[in-house]
C-alpha cells in the first residue's frame, strides 16, 4: 500500500497544493510508502526538501525539467525511488530510452491539475503500450494510473497492465471504507 501525494505549484499545472512541510507531518503519522508526484516546474530544486520530508518515491514530469535524466539520477542518488509521469498527450516514446532508470511509470488519464475529472477514453491504450515497452526491455516496475480512477475504470486499466491505481474522488466521496472495498472488487 502507498499514499500518493500530489504536489502542484500553480505554474506547471493550474492549481496549488501541499509542500514538504505537509509531507513531513504525514510521515510522522504513517509508515506507508509515500509516493510524491511533483507537478511543478524545475522539480530538481526541491528534490532534497521532499526526500528530507519523508518521501519514499518522487515522480516527475519529463517536460518540467531541463535535464530529466540528471534529475532522476539525483533522486536515486538520495536513496529513494524515482518515477516519471506521462500526461495524456505525452507519448510513451518520450521515456523509451529511460525505462531502465525508472522505479515507476505513472500514466495520467486526465490532464493534471484538478481532482474529480472524468477518465479520458483511450488512455488505457498507453498503459498497454508501456507494459509492452517494459516487457521488451525486461524491466519489471509498477505502472501507475492517476486520474478518473473509479469502479468502472479500475478494471479497464488493470486489464491493460496497470499495477497501481491512484484514486481520489472514488475514495473520498462518501464512505471511504466502502469505496476502497468497491475498488478492490
Cα distances (angstroms) measured from residue 65 to each of 84, 129, 143, 152, 156: 11, 24, 21, 34, 31
Say whether 146 is catalytic: yes
Catalytic residue among 9, 81, 103, 146: 146
| Alpha-carbon gap, residue 71 to 31, rounded angstroms | 26
Q: Which of 6, 9, 81, 103 is catalytic?
A: 6
User: Kindly report the CA angle at 92 between 15 and 68, in degrees rounded to 5?
Assistant: 65
Edge to edge, what strands does the sheet with 143-146 contain? 2-8, 33-39, 57-61, 81-86, 104-108, 143-146, 164-166
* Catalytic (active-site) positions: 6, 146
Amino acid at each position: 500500500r502507498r499514499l500518493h501525494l500530489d504536489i502542484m505549484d500553480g505554474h506547471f499545472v493550474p492549481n496549488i497544493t501541499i509542500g514538504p512541510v505537509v509531507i513531513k507531518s504525514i510521515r510522522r503519522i504513517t509508515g506507508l510508502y509515500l509516493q510524491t508526484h511533483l507537478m511543478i516546474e524545475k522539480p530538481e530544486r526541491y528534490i532534497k526538501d521532499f526526500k528530507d520530508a519523508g518521501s519514499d518515491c518522487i515522480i516527475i514530469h519529463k517536460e518540467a525539467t531541463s535535464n530529466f535524466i540528471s534529475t532522476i539520477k539525483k533522486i536515486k542518488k538520495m536513496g529513494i525511488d524515482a518515477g516519471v509521469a506521462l500526461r495524456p498527450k505525452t507519448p510513451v516514446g518520450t521515456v523509451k530510452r529511460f525505462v531502465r532508470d525508472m522505479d515507476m511509470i505513472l500514466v495520467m488519464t486526465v490532464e493534471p491539475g484538478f481532482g474529480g475529472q472524468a477518465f479520458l477514453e483511450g488512455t488505457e491504450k498507453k498503459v498497454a503500450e508501456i507494459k509492452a515497452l517494459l516487457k521488451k526491455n525486461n524491466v519489471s516496475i509498477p505502472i501507475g494510473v492517476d486520474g478518473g480512477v473509479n469502479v468502472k475504470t479500475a478494471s479497464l486499466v488493470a486489464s491493460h497492465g496497470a499495477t497501481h491505481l491512484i484514486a481520489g474522488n472514488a475514495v473520498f466521496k462518501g464512505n471511504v471504507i466502502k469505496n476502497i472495498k468497491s475498488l478492490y472488487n
